[in-house]
Copies of this chain bind each other. A is one copy, B any other.
Amino acid sequence: MPQDIEFWFDFSSPYGYIASQKIDALAARHGRKAHWKPWLIGVIYKKYGYAPLEMAEKKAYFYRDFVRHARFEGVPLSIPATFPEGLLAPSRALYWIEDRQGREAAARFGRAAYSAYWAEGRKLADPEVVAEIAAATVGAAKADVLAALEDPSVKARLKAETEAAIAKGVFGSPFIIVDGEPFWGSDRLGEVERYLAGEGR
């Protein structure tokens, strides 16, 4: 049984979103599944006192590239009015769903949450919106989701996953690990696919 592909991402990352719309089909073409793993990229920005959007030159470029790259990749994207922001609620909800309903349900929620934010302009920082998406995609009761988002063990889980990500060398989003081999960026999806097909090993 081949290992799942690790798909590390932050919901506030547009390149993570672009990859999210392709990763499951890409994995399936090679008899694999993607294991969706949200983490908080802000923790590594804080560690190094550096965030790319704080550089004026990078910010100007990225706001242009987000939209253009998505267009070239055939993925609908418009930059949310509240971007950039921390998106803890959907990240916590995803692990809570995984623990109760498994990885496929978690991925289904993740895909919908990413689109809600990056394509539909919904307020993904809002626990109510997250509960609605969980109800619609995996049948969770909204009240249960809202309670889970306040549960210290659910909060601790996301913190631990973020620390685990950084410990294994994850520093960006998306960050894809195939049988221990790391790939950073939506622009490495072509190489991920070639690697899965047996090239470059």
Q: Provided the pairs A55-B171, A191-B68 are in contact, do residues A61 and B182 lie with their beta carbons within 8 angstroms?
A: yes
- Check: A57 CB closer than 8 A to any chain B CB: yes
> What number of copies of this chain does the assembly contain?
2
The answer for the CA separation of A191 and B199 in the assembled complex, in Å, is 23
Kindly identify which residue among B64, B188, B194, B200 contacts A187, using a CB–CB cutoff of 8 Å.
B188
Which interface residue of A57, A171, A188 has the most chain B CB atoms within 10 A? A57
Chain A 41-81 against B: per-residue CB contact (8 Å), 1 yes, 0 no?
00010001010000101101100110011011000000000
The answer for the CA separation of A75 and B102 in the assembled complex, in Å, is 42
Kindly identify which residue among B71, B169, B185, B188 contacts A60, using a CB–CB cutoff of 8 Å.
B169
> Distance in Å from the Cβ of A10 to the closest Cβ of chain B?
15
Q: Are the CB atoms of A61 and B184 closer together than 8 Å?
A: yes
- Tell me what chain A mostly uses at the interface: helix, strand, loop, or mixed: helix
Q: Are the CB atoms of A171 and B58 closer together than 8 Å?
A: yes
Q: Are the CB atoms of B72 and A191 closer together than 8 Å?
A: yes
Kindly identify which residue among B55, B57, B68 contacts A170, using a CB–CB cutoff of 8 Å.
B57
The answer for the CA separation of A163 and B44 in the assembled complex, in Å, is 30
Which residues of chain B have C-beta atoms less than 8 A from A169's C-beta?
A: 57, 60-61
Q: Are the CB atoms of A44 and B72 closer together than 8 Å?
A: no
- Check: A166 CB closer than 8 A to any chain B CB: yes
Which residues of chain B have C-beta atoms less than 8 A from A60's C-beta?
A: 169
Residue in chain B with minimal CB distance to A170: B57
Which residues of chain B have C-beta atoms less than 8 A from A194's C-beta?
A: 72
Give 16 A-B pairs besides A64-B182, A185-B187 with Cβ atoms closer than 8 angstroms: A44-B57, A50-B50, A50-B55, A55-B171, A57-B170, A60-B169, A61-B169, A61-B171, A61-B182, A61-B184, A65-B184, A68-B191, A68-B200, A71-B200, A72-B191, A187-B188
Offer 9 A-B interface pairs, CB within 8 angstroms, sorted by A. A48-B55, A50-B50, A57-B171, A58-B171, A60-B169, A61-B171, A68-B191, A72-B194, A72-B200
Which 9 residue pairs across A and B have the least CB separation, nearest first?
A: A187-B187, A57-B171, A50-B50, A57-B169, A72-B191, A48-B55, A58-B171, A60-B169, A61-B182
